[in-house]
Amino acid sequence: MKNILFLDIGSGTQDVLYYREGIELENCPRFVLPTPAKNLAKQIRACAEKKQDIYLFGRNAGGGFWGAINEHLEKNLKVFVHPQAAFALSDNFERLAQKNIIITEKRPENTIALEVMDFSMGFWQSLLAMAGLEYPEQVVAAAQDHGYHEGKSNRVGRFILWKSLLFEHAGKAEALLYKDIPKEFTRLQALASSIGNSYVCDTGIAAVLGALSIDKIAKLSHERGITLINIGNSHTLCFLLYKEKILGVYEHHTGLLDAEKLWEHKNRFAQGNLSFEEIFDDNGHGALTLELPKEAQGFSPCFVLGPKRNMLIDYDVEFIAPAGDMMLAGAFGMAYGLKKRKDL
């Protein structure tokens, strides 16, 4: 029996499915845990309470510990970081130097060493063993990667991912389950190396695949266009789906949206009347659509998932929960994507 660990690493939680071949998804073990960046932030704050300088080592990963780093610096405590781990904070090392973050390959004396990572094999070996589960044959993971784009805003650079999806892969979400990772996606490359060079993908792609894993939604998309909104802790994404293909992508920062604004954006986006520049100038990532067919009928059915989904509770939407668990939509989606690629 093959076991696969599917990890969907967000900004607040990592949502995990322990897939067991031949067993219904509903009966597979699952976990919703704090994301590694949140745990690192907790460690940094503990060091600050003890007035200890810190040295960060490891590799590129989620940067959800920035707030704790700023608090550390505000207390006149020193932050040292290994060059590889520094990419988790910024691709711009001059920016880090301006904040008095010191980049060095050698750990200074009298500092507390803290590891930066998205995935720790030791952690998962211990947790699974305590749960009576074997370490899996394969790990598949999703994380959001803005990418490294020299001389460009990472908000602009991130749309390279979505342009690739729409124009190079005909909107097929499963095509962005990567083994051969584009060079600009340095976080995904580090993650793939950590998990054993298996499949990795963006969390947005995992969410789309999770929605399409629901038979009702996949079938409806062949009858008419549908809208999928994933309201995450940090980012909100909206996808226009028709015949199980993505014809449009919208991405904004959740903290800059309220229900009325998001709904107004969604309506214009579904009509192809929302520009990249409008969302980018609003400090979001942008919007992009292909030609929208009349047969899609305006993409009016709207399905919503994500930990902040209650933002749209008073609107004409349907909340969805693949295999009965909304938080694991991305993990279920990766499993569905591998099946579509005939690799599961």
Instruction: Say how far apart CA 246 and CA 227 lie, in whole Å.
Output: 10
Task: For residue 195, report the phi and psi dihedrals to the nearest 5 degrees.
Answer: -85, -10
252 within 8 A of 232, measured Cβ to Cβ? no
Q: Where in the chain is the domain with CATH 3.30.420.40?
A: 3-29+139-340
Query: Where along the chain do the CATH 3.40.50 domains lie?
Result: 36-116
What local confidence, expressed as pLDDT, does residue 149 receive? 67
Residue 151: the pLDDT is 64
CA distance 280 to 327: 28
Check if CATH label 3.30.420.40 holds for domain 3-29+139-340.
Answer: yes
Instruction: Provide the whole-model pTM.
Output: 0.93
CA distance 20 to 100: 48
How many CB atoms lie under 10 A from the CB of residue 283? 11
| CATH code reported for the domain at 36-116 | 3.40.50
What pLDDT does 232 receive? 93
Each residue's pLDDT, cut to its tens digit, for the chain (344 residues) gives 789 999 999 988 999 999 999 999 889 999 999 999 999 999 999 999 999 999 999 999 998 999 999 999 999 999 999 999 999 998 889 999 999 999 999 999 999 999 999 999 999 999 999 999 999 999 999 999 887 767 666 777 778 889 999 999 999 999 999 999 988 899 999 999 999 979 999 999 999 999 999 999 999 999 999 999 999 999 999 999 999 999 999 999 999 999 999 999 999 999 999 999 999 999 999 999 999 999 999 999 999 999 999 999 999 999 999 999 999 999 999 999 999 999 88
Q: Residue 167 and residue 162: Cα distance in Å, rounded?
A: 8
